[in-house]
Amino acid sequence: MVEVFLVTWSLAGYLNCASTKAVDSNGRSIVTHLTGSSPHLTSRAIIGGLLLLSLLPVHAFAFPGDLFGFNQTRQGNIRVFAQWIQVLERHLLEDIPEGSCQEKKINKCHLGEWRKFIDSIRNLPRDQQLERVNQYANHRRYVLDIDNYGVEDYWAVAREFLHAGGDCEDYAITKFFSLRWLDYPTDDARIVILQDTNLRIPHAVLAVSRGQDIAILDNQTSQIVSHHDIAHYRPVYSVNEKSWWLHLPQ
């Protein structure tokens, strides 16, 4: 068993992901004691694929340590986040562009469009790539997990999100993998679980290091916004393929 103390919420709270932008407000964090078992990565192909993604050859920016003005503490074992581990596994197994577009049943065909989009922006400057990736994902429908999958919380891989839409963490996940296929190093991008203190609900965004700044890719806006310009987000934890970080007030 693995025990960790996190400032976090049940991911079932993402039924209330925001779909409209809001202004500043005050909010409080909730401390939850989580106890869970570490999932097992039994497939050599999955482990090898994750290693391959982590070795893609691109110059990385050091990720600033003051996300939304909070301190961060790096943690070691991402396996405490079972949903995220499952997404990493399923991405390598399912997000491959193959299948027939004529079939009514969901398959991998629509991923060809995604990969064509990624290839079309591969040679653009970094800032333009971030804008295009953000806009591409944000054009998808916002749909609650309960309506898509019949469960309160579900983290979708790109194949599922591009086919059926999703909620806030699903936008962030597809943006994350879009940047990884554009050869962004794993240390440059994190999925951030946070509290929107205006709407007083949990939310998820993608944070990308940009020199000394952090760019926020949010399903609530088509614009790339600096984390310094957002006053009503309180980060709880962030995660990538290798690690996770707990964020606490300075």
Range of the domain at 223: 2-249
Distance, CA of 10 to CA of 32 (rounded, Å): 9
Query: Which distant-in-sequence residues (6+ apart) come within 8 Å of 96 by Cβ?
Result: 108, 111
- Domain count of the chain? 1
Mapped onto helix, strand or coil, the DSSP state of residue 183 is: coil
pLDDT at 33: 27
Half-sphere exposure of residue 50: CA atoms within 13 angstroms, side-chain side: 18
State the pairing for strand pair 213-217/31-36.
Answer: unpaired
State the CATH number of the domain containing residue 67: 3.10.620.30
What is the full per-residue pLDDT of the chain (250 aa) written as tens digits? 222 333 333 333 333 564 433 333 333 332 222 222 233 333 333 333 443 444 444 444 578 888 888 888 888 777 677 777 777 666 655 655 555 555 544 445 657 788 899 999 999 999 999 999 999 999 999 999 999 999 988 888 888 898 899 999 999 999 999 999 899 998 999 999 999 999 999 999 999 999 889 999 999 999 999 999 999 999 999 999 888 999 998 8
Q: What is the pLDDT of residue 110?
A: 58
Retrieve residue 59's tokens: 């110059």
**pTM recorded for the entire structure:** 0.70
Pair type for strands 201-210 and 2-7: unpaired
Which structure tokens are listed for 214? 């952090």
- Three-class DSSP category at 171: helix
Contact partners, residue 179, CB within 8 Å, separation at least 6 = 129, 130, 133, 188, 189, 206, 208
